[in-house]
Structure 1
Amino acid sequence: MADLSSELNRRTSLMHALATEFASNPVLSRQWLTQVDFGWGPERIIDSSKGIWNPKSYAATLTIVSDPDSEYDDGDHGDSLYRYSYERRPVGQDPKGGSNSKLREAMRLGLPIVMLRKVATGQYVPIMPVYVVKDEPEHQRFLLAIDESLRFLPDPAHLSEDQRRYAERIVRQRLHQPEFRAKVLTAYAERCAVCVLKKIPLLDAAHITADAHEGGKPVVTNGLALCKIHHAAYDENILGISPDYEVHINADVLHEKDGPMLDHGLQRMHKRALWLPSRSRDKPDRDRLSARFDAFKSAS
């Protein structure tokens, strides 16, 4: 039990180190992940070629890589779980063996692992803690809970309406939103599209079409990198963005008299050209902007 307690402590320290680094960077680089110091000296926490990292000094899998473009059938499973395929084994060898055995051990011991969600070549978003909750050898896959609370749903495959809404919100917050933020901030060169602020902890990925609406998908063309003040102003229709990529400020707000934040942060942004991604395929969708700009004008 003492050894397991020590291992859990190391895993907790690792997750703290990842969270600290991720707070200051939109993604974690593969290079950084090969030498993370979380209290015991620099340590590799990602395999050089495989998706499951099983360091010898740990009782069970430490990290897994999830690549949405890989040949493996990984992804959301129902409303609350995530499916993760077995690592493929050579013909004739037990498909449950190899790296898969230590992932199964993480389930038996109830140890948290880290999912490194690949968003681009050599770039990852950490999802943690993640728990292995079921082994399905008939499908050659594991089922994962991406939040501790989801481990304890009585029947994850058959949720009540309240449970489903809760699970969807958790999955969106823990998996889809961090991935969306990483992709959007990277596309906008880590700057606010309105004021060009480059302080990453103060930047958000704002949806043009709200994620709660049909069509509000977490894709870069439905996103804007905005600092927190301009994100809030956009959500409240104090600030609007036209489909020709121009910033507009609510007419009433333009005539208000207040302190320097109102003057410099909002009023002087009126008619300013939007800072745009360098790649055309990442630029905000004009149709989405048009629909959202109509709502801004109606509110004004």
Structure 2
Amino acid sequence: MPELRPQMWKATAMTDSRGELELRRLIMNALEDARSDAGTVTRDQLSSVDLGFETRRLIDQSRGIWNPRDLEATLSVLSTPSGPYDDAALDGSVFRYDYRAGSTDGDNRKLRRAYELGLPIILLRKVRDREFLPLFPVYVIADNFDQRHFLLGLDESLRSLDDPSNPTPTERRYISRLTRQRLHQPEFRARVLLAYDTRCAVCQLKHGRLLDAAHIIGDSEAGGDPVVTNGLTLCKIHHASYDSNMLGISPDYTVHINQDLLDEVDGPMLKHGIQEMDSRPLSIPSRRPDRPDRERLSIRYESFLAC
């Protein structure tokens, strides 16, 4: 498809889904630029996104679905984990989005239109008050009228599934891996970085691109749930040190460095970047419910001591 210049979309969007598709690409590019280091955007940001030639609202003021009047199809849907609808990652595969209560049409009509036209939408996952993780491009890959919900695919490849509600075992493994990469991991990272004010819990580095959300208990192990209390914001070097048990964190929130590493002499990076972290208190979230789980830290600290 030939690329449309920004000023050209208005002439085509009303009658040509190709023009609307190009506008959505421009919107998603602008949204990518607006994301914070944690990968999130605020409600204020979503209320006015600058496209260079106009500003666009990307979220409804009060509802969970945004259907701009001048667009053929829904632009964004909002999912709140504690909300009234049963939105969920369906069976670890594709994302389920329930119809708006009381109707099979109404607001649902334009989301159905996105399905019919194959237009990408934005899924906004609420991670805390007025803070959202935007996922895009997302596609409506099924409209289950009897069950009153849509299925959203987090990748365009999922549009080719013969039966999105009943994927084959091979398809399910692929979709589950994709959902983990596109939904669960970014959401875990966003929640953890926000809890720690986008700072390394060990050295206080505050550069989001150099920070990871590290699991205390690995996500493939028992207790390795993707929750903030099982997470730490760590810079790249301290994350690698933690994963390799060169750095440990005791349940009293104290940083410890492996004795062999403390005894080693190898220049300023080792000295200032790792050795000087020994016995330093861990920086923890101000909100008590977000603080690292001491039991998980204890289990992980045993592995550090055993090395």
Question: Which amino acid counterpart does residue 138 of structure 1 have in structure 2?
Answer: D
Question: In the alignment, is the contact (CA less than 8 A) between 1:114 and 1:127 conserved in 2?
Answer: yes
Q: 1:69 aligns with which of 69, 82, 87?
A: 82
Task: Find the residue that maps to 2:139 and give its secondary structure.
Answer: strand
Report which stretch shifted further, 136-145 or 22-31.
Answer: 22-31
Question: Which amino acid counterpart does residue 71 of structure 1 have in structure 2?
Answer: P
Question: In the alignment, is the contact (CA less than 8 A) between 1:13 and 1:39 conserved in 2?
Answer: no
| Aligned counterpart, 1:146 | 154
How many angstroms apart in 2 are the aligned matches of 1:163 and 1:294? 38
Q: 2:263 aligns with which of 255, 261, 267?
A: 255
> Normalising to structure 1: TM-score of the pair?
0.92
Aligned-pair CA distance for 1:252: 1.9
Q: Does 1:117 align with 2:125?
A: yes
Q: 2:273 aligns with which of 258, 265, 273?
A: 265
Alignment of 1:127-166 (within 5 A): 127-166=135-174
How many angstroms apart in 2 are the aligned matches of 1:69 and 1:21? 26
Question: In the alignment, is the contact (CA less than 8 A) between 1:78 and 1:157 conserved in 2?
Answer: no
Q: Which structure 2 segments of 5+ residues have no match?
A: 2-11
Alignment of 1:278-297 (within 5 A): 278-297=286-305
Aligned-pair CA distance for 1:23: 4.7
Question: In the alignment, is the contact (CA less than 8 A) between 1:207 and 1:224 conserved in 2?
Answer: yes
Report which stretch shifted further, 37-46 or 190-199.
Answer: 37-46
| Aligned counterpart, 2:223 | 215
Q: Does 1:98 align with 2:80?
A: no
Question: In the alignment, is the contact (CA less than 8 A) between 1:193 and 1:224 conserved in 2?
Answer: yes
Task: Find the residue that maps to 1:78 and give its secondary structure.
Answer: helix
How many angstroms apart in 2 are the aligned matches of 1:25 and 1:42? 23
| Aligned counterpart, 1:37 | 50
Q: Which structure 1 segments of 5+ residues have no match?
A: 90-94
| Aligned counterpart, 1:92 | none
| Aligned counterpart, 1:24 | 37
Report which stretch shifted further, 114-123 or 257-266.
Answer: 257-266
Question: In the alignment, is the contact (CA less than 8 A) between 2:153 and 2:159 conserved in 1?
Answer: yes
The CA RMSD measured in Å over matched residues stands at: 1.7
Identify if the C-alpha distance between structure 1 residues 269 and 280 changes in structure 2 by more than 3 Å, giving closer, same or farther.
same
| Aligned counterpart, 1:56 | 69
* Percent identity for Structure 1 against Structure 2: 53
Aligned-pair CA distance for 1:18: 1.9
